[in-house]
Amino acid sequence: MQQLPTDARPAPSLTTTVFGVLAVLGAVALAGWIMVVGPIHNLVYDTDNAGLPGSYTATKCWTEGSGKSSHSVCLGTFRSTDGSVVVRDLQLERTAASVGVPLTVRREADGTDYAQPGFANAAMDVALCLLTLSGLGLALAVIGVSPKSVTVEKRKGSGKDPGAHAKPQSQPPNPAPWRQLIAFGPALMSSMMALGGITAVVAFVAKIVSRF
């Protein structure tokens, strides 16, 4: 009887494969749900694609909190562009409004939130979307290394020369789809984190510039 190589890996069981596929689908669905109800929801309003357009004119503004937790609060009136809706004594927090200067806003569908469309806010929404995708990449990588049939190869240096690396032993490739998840997950995470970080910096700079 022919003996199997000692480094041969058993094929993943049906239960493991089904669990892995369901976990991947669950991670994708969860990430999509978070993005829809969060950053993408805000992005639609911040790009002037939803909500009731109008202007907000503050009659009084002040600062609440102290240090990094301080934020602006204004009391004023919202008036829709067509004049059909007027909301007086409306208080907005963390707003760029100035007393007596109309600020373009959009009243959201719930009637209680008001978005302040503009490049800075839209860019920050995009950054949050990208960072959410980076979390999905991490989840895919963790799922990829979870089965017992998967091996993550490591190079070990020799004792005589710490800088040298031993030649890795020949091993059969990890079974699909785990092999693809191990490769795709970290790549997705790193690329989305980089793009999200750059976009967040651009949004931060744009918000500072808009104050002048």
Does one domain contain both 60 and 129?
Answer: no
Tell me the pLDDT tens digit for each residue of 28-76: 677 667 666 777 888 888 888 888 999 999 999 998 887 777 888 999 9
Cβ 97 vs Cβ 62: under 8 Å: no
Token digits for 4? 């199997």
Our count of domains for the chain comes to 2
Q: Following DSSP, what letter does each residue of 137-183 receive, concatenated?
A: HHHHHHHHT-STT-------B-SS-TT-BPPPPP-PPPPTTHHHHHH
Q: Which of 118, 121, 120, 133 is nearest to 195 (CA)?
A: 133
Does one domain contain both 71 and 128?
Answer: no
Cβ 183 vs Cβ 143: under 8 Å: no
Cβ 91 vs Cβ 206: under 8 Å: no
Between residues 119 and 164, which one has the greater pLDDT?
119
Q: Is the pLDDT of residue 194 over 50?
A: yes
pLDDT at 153: 56
Tell me the pLDDT tens digit for each residue of 82-139: 988 999 999 998 888 889 999 999 998 888 889 888 898 899 989 988 888 787 777 7
Does one domain contain both 104 and 124?
Answer: no
**Domain range holding 197?**
20-47+118-149+176-212
Overall pTM surpassing 0.75 (yes/no): no
pLDDT tier, 189 (very low <50, low <70, confident <90, very high otherwise): confident
Q: Following DSSP, what letter does each residue of 56-68 receive, concatenated?
A: EEEEEEEEES-GG
Cβ 115 vs Cβ 108: under 8 Å: yes
